[in-house]
Amino acid sequence: MSRLFFLILLIANLIVLILYLLGLTPWNHDEREPARLKQQLNSERIRVLTEQEQAAQSALLVAEKNSPSINCLQVGTFNKQSTAAFENRLARLELKDLPKKIMVSEEGTFMVFLPPLKKGQTATQKRIDELRKFGFADLHFIQDQSARRGGISLGVFRKLELAQLQLEHAHRVGATDARIENYTMTVTRTAYQLRGLPTKARPQLETMLTEFAGIEISECQP
C-alpha cells in the first residue's frame, strides 16, 4: 500500500514539474511566460533612467525648491467689492505664506461717477449690472446729500491720473456720461501683503491687477 501511495505521489510531482516548465502553473513567474509580458500596459515606455537623467531630474527639483522669491509685496488698495474679487484670484498664485490683510485709511480726492438716471433705481441697478460685465468692480449707489445722489460711483481715487484712467475705461465701454469731480473724504480700504511670491509669478500678479482700477504694487513697509 505504501508503495502505491509513493508511486502516485511521484507521478503527481512529475506532472507539476512538467506544467511548471511549460509555464502553465499559476505561480510561474519565469521570463519565458509570454502571456504575462503581454499584459503589461505601455511596456515600451518603461525604461531605467541613465545617471545623467537622474542627475538632471534631481537638479530640477532642487532648483524649484530654491527658486528666488520676492520677500514682501504690498498690493492695494481695494474696496469691499473688489476685495472679494481679488481674493478669489489669489488662489492662482503660488504663495509660500498666506496673504496678510491690512486695513488702510486713505484720503480720497477724486470721484469718477455717472450722473443719476431719471428712470429711477431699477434702471440704475440694470446699468450697474451691465458695467460689471465690463470689469468694473468698484461700483455703488451714491447716497450723499449732493447733486450726485442717486448716481453710480465708479471709484474714489487719491491721484488724478488714476481717476482719468478709470474715466477712459468707462468711455471705451460706452458710458460717455461718466465724469470726474473733486471728492474729499477719508475711506478705509484693504491692502494685502504677499510674502514669498516666486519671482516668476510677478508678471502673473501684474496681469491679474489690470482687472482692478487704481491698484498699486509696492514694497512692504517695515
Q: Nearest to residue 141, comparing CAs of 169, 117, 107? A: 117
Q: Is the pLDDT of residue 115 over 90?
A: yes
How high is the mean pLDDT of the chain? 79
Q: What is the pLDDT of residue 208?
A: 87
How far apart, in whole angstroms, are the C-alpha atoms of residue 62 and residue 216?
33
pTM: 0.48
Mean pLDDT check: name the lowest of 32-46, 114-128, 142-156, 167-181.
32-46
Q: What is the pLDDT of residue 69?
A: 60
Cell numbers found for residue 14 = 512529475
For strand 216-219 and strand 100-114, is the pairing parallel, antiparallel, or unpaired?
Answer: unpaired
Please state the rounded mean pLDDT for residues 9-33. Answer: 63
Q: What are φ and ψ of residue 176, in 5° steps?
A: -75, -10
User: Residue type for 163, please?
Assistant: A
Is the separation of the CB atoms in 195 and 100 below 8 Å? yes
3-state secondary structure the chain: CHHHHHHHHHHHHHHHHHHHHCCCCCCCCCCCCHHHHHCCCCHHHCCCCCHHHHHHHHHHHHHHHCCCEEEEEEEEEECHHHHHHHHHHHCCCCCCCCCEEEEEEEEEEEEEEECCCCCCHHHHHHHHHHHHCCCCCCCEECCCCCCCCCCEEEEEECCHHHHHHHHHHHHHCCCCCCEEEEEEEEEEEEEEEEEEEEHHHHHHHHHHHCCCCCCEEEECCC
Is the separation of the CB atoms in 95 and 195 below 8 Å? yes
Please state the rounded mean pLDDT for residues 182-200. Answer: 85
Please state the rounded mean pLDDT for residues 103-131. Answer: 87
